[in-house]
Structure 1
Amino acid sequence: MRDAYMKSDPAFVDWKTDQILDPAERWADWHGLVTAATARGVEVRRARIVSTPVSEYIRFEYDVTDGLNIAAGEDVRWLSRRRVTDLALPGNDFWLFDSSLVLVNHFDGEGENMEVELTEDPEVAKFCESAFEAVWQRATPHAEFELA
């Protein structure tokens, strides 16, 4: 839900200088993990809430999505922040596993990764699942999303 993450990431730095990136190679561990999971039939969905016009970092994410996320089998959707005003959203990015385990990412003000928190609190999981589904229903599939 942030407009920039870890701007110190070497891949982002390389992208900014127009270096050719192979996302599946650059993030081989993630790509392999997701590819193996989706090959077993696990559904991996990612929703990105972005400001429009998008930031430079979001352009980077968009550019690597086909070669990394989609290639690994993820289903990715995008939603303009302008369209979420009436949705209740968690204050942090999260991953939800099996509707019961929530991995919360805490970032500092510059978007650098500070801490990861795991919780199995059923109320937190229920809230995160409800928020994600609301976003997912409004969001545009990656192949149809146009950067503003």
Structure 2
Amino acid sequence: MPSNVPQTFRELLDGCAQSAVHLEMRDVYAVDYEQGPFADWRAGFRHNPADRASWWRPWLDVVTEAAGRGVTIRRARIVSEPVSEYTRYLYDNTFTNVAAGEHVRWLPRRRASDLALPGNDFWLFDGRLVQWNHFGGDGSSQGPEVTENPAAVKLCADAFEAAWARATPHEQYEIR
């Protein structure tokens, strides 16, 4: 990988000028079932959208800054139905992503069967640079990998646009 390619996600998004798209394809990511936000949600806690200070976090600042510079940020989630408990948790908290400036859509997995999709979740920045997100079987992060390989970029761009075109906007998606 060339040394001039940004290495951290923050650097990648800070260097983005037009668009950042994210395709998520897992039903579960590593979570702590005993403590933390997912455990709190499982116990019945729900963020109050009107109490922004209670749910705003540094990630949302990064998104807001990028959107403020004119970067369009889109996230498509391919999900199995009925959804996993973790996907329900994501759904309940997606209002925070939207408030920060992301556009989010949901695509039921059975409607994605005939799409050519890469083997890993990814971010695509300005249609030129991919960050793969590698995960273990238990959902734990195995670290990112960044590439400017034109074939990988094209695969991700085409896959994202195909999924986005079929997906339902967050405000219209009914969780099942």
Letter in 1 for 2:75: R
Conserved in 2, the CA contact under 8 Å of 1:11 and 1:21? no
- Using the TM superposition, give the Cα deviation of residue 56 of structure 1 relative to its aligned residue in structure 2, in angstroms: 0.2
Q: TM-score, normalised by structure 2?
A: 0.79
CA 1:81/1:104 → structure 2, altered by over 3 Å: closer, same or farther?
A: same
User: Percent identical across equivalent pairs?
Assistant: 55
Q: Which of residues 41, 44, 58 in structure 2 aligns to 1:18?
A: 44
- Consecutive unaligned residues of structure 1, counting only runs of 5 or more, are none
Aligned to 1:135: 163
Aligned to 2:111: 83
- Consecutive unaligned residues of structure 2, counting only runs of 5 or more, are 1-24
Aligned to 2:147: 119
Instruction: Map Cα deviations across residues 96-139 of structure 1 (whole Å, 9 max, x no partner).
Output: 00111101111111111111111111110111000000000000
Letter in 1 for 2:88: R
Distance across 2 between alignment mates of 1:119 and 1:8: 30
Aligned to 1:102: 130
Q: TM-score, normalised by structure 1?
A: 0.93
Letter in 1 for 2:93: V
Aligned to 1:64: 93
Aligned to 2:7: none
- Matched positions, count: 147
Task: Please tell me the root mean square deviation across aligned C-alpha atoms, in Å.
Answer: 1.6
Instruction: Map Cα deviations across residues 17-60 of structure 1 (whole Å, 9 max, x no partner).
Output: 12344696556111000011111211000000000000000000
Distance across 1 between alignment mates of 2:47 and 2:165: 31
Distance across 2 between alignment mates of 1:31 and 1:59: 20
Distance across 1 between alignment mates of 2:101 and 2:161: 19
Q: How does 1:35-54 map to 2 (within 5 A)?
A: 35-54=64-83
Distance across 1 between alignment mates of 2:55 and 2:142: 22
Distance across 1 between alignment mates of 2:72 and 2:93: 20
Where 2:130 maps in the other structure, the secondary structure is: strand
Distance across 2 between alignment mates of 1:132 and 1:26: 28
Deviates more, 1:108-117 or 1:134-143: 108-117
